[in-house]
Amino acid sequence: MRVLSMDDAVLARRPDLGGPSEQPAHSRISVWLEKLIVTGRLTPGDKLPSEVEIAGALGVSRMTLRQALAAIEAKGLIRRSRGRFGGNFVETPHLEFDHIGLPGFTEQLRRLDMSAGARVIRATTRTASAVVRQALQLKSGAYVHEIIRIRSANNTPVLLEETYLPAARFPRLLSADLTGSIYTLMADEFDTPLVSADEHIEATPASESSAGLLGVTVGDPLLVVTRTAYDRNDVPVEFSHDYFRSDRTRIRVRSRVDGGPDAEVETSPAS
């Protein structure tokens, strides 16, 4: 555990609280601290400087600072404890993923200033199973590309992907670099951007193979997102299962009066 002070290099680049901004000071402070935690510059177990020290260094009141700390505590990024050995301690962060706009794993991590990685476990062309054939509206005997990858955030495995794409629609796809964004590859090389998707979310126990790949115990719950994605003509072009580590993933759904839900998935690297 590191006990930090405001003199430490990791806290040297501080938020600009002097200039005009639409964000109040406490919001800018919480964004600053959140980025330090999410990007790994502050690590789980780190003890933040005292409230008096932080407030003094930033030139704000303790009330303003406490608002900022409450905001990141609500996101599970810090743990606040009282007593002789109390203080504000960094927790394992959750990375927020938007499951509405279909930006893809790589793009979403880029927005969070984190590196996205992909390790290809298997990439092959095979006859579509009945389930895949139905989802992609293919004829009997049609072929699909099966791509299985482990996705990582800052080198930590967080997601097992099983992706199926119509082979006739994406010829020679398996000869491309599959360690980057497949969505970008589909859009740039095959003029097939994804514009919508149907997703179903459920829990399932980790199998022996998925547990080994994700670094969890056999039987641990995984959060599975099953997706059928469509092109601009509403033709299904991707069917996939995304297995998220449940200890690093949570879903927030926001419902509007008109009944249209917004959903977000959050995940984080292991400590």
Show me where the domains of the chain are located.
Answer: 9-90, 95-267
Angle at 202 between CA 200 and CA 204, to 5 degrees: 140
pLDDT in tens, 78-97: 998 887 778 999 987 766 55
- Eight-class DSSP state of 264: E
Q: Give dist(CA 164, CA 123) in Å, integer.
A: 10
The confidence score (pLDDT) of residue 270 equals 46
- Whole-model pTM: value is 0.71
Along the chain (271 residues), what's the average pLDDT of each consecutive run of 10 residues? 86 83 89 86 91 93 95 89 85 63 61 77 98 97 97 84 97 94 93 91 93 94 93 97 82 62 53 48
The pLDDT value given to residue 1: 73
Neighbour tally for 24: CB within 10 Å: 13
Q: What pLDDT was estimated at residue 180? A: 86
Q: Tokens standing for 208?
A: 């022996």
pLDDT of residue 152: 84
Work out the number of other CB atoms within 10 angstroms of the CB of residue 263: 16
Strands (E), 115-206: 116-127, 143-153, 156-166, 196-205
Task: Report CA dihedral (185, 188, 191, 192) to the nearest 10 degrees.
Answer: 40
Supply the pLDDT for residue 109.
Answer: 66
Per-residue CA distances from 270 to 40, 153, 216, 252 (Å): 11, 9, 10, 20
- Contact status, residue 76 vs residue 91, Cβ threshold 8 Å: yes
DSSP letters for 124-145: EEEEPPHHHHHHHTPPTT-EEE
pLDDT, position 101: 45
Name the CATH code of domain 95-267 (choices 1.10.10.10, 3.40.1410.10, 3.30.450.40, 3.40.50.300): 3.40.1410.10
- Which of 61, 83, 67, 2 has its CA nearest to residue 36? 2
Q: Which CATH number is 9-90's, of 1.10.10.10, 3.30.230.10, 3.40.120.10, 3.40.190.10?
A: 1.10.10.10
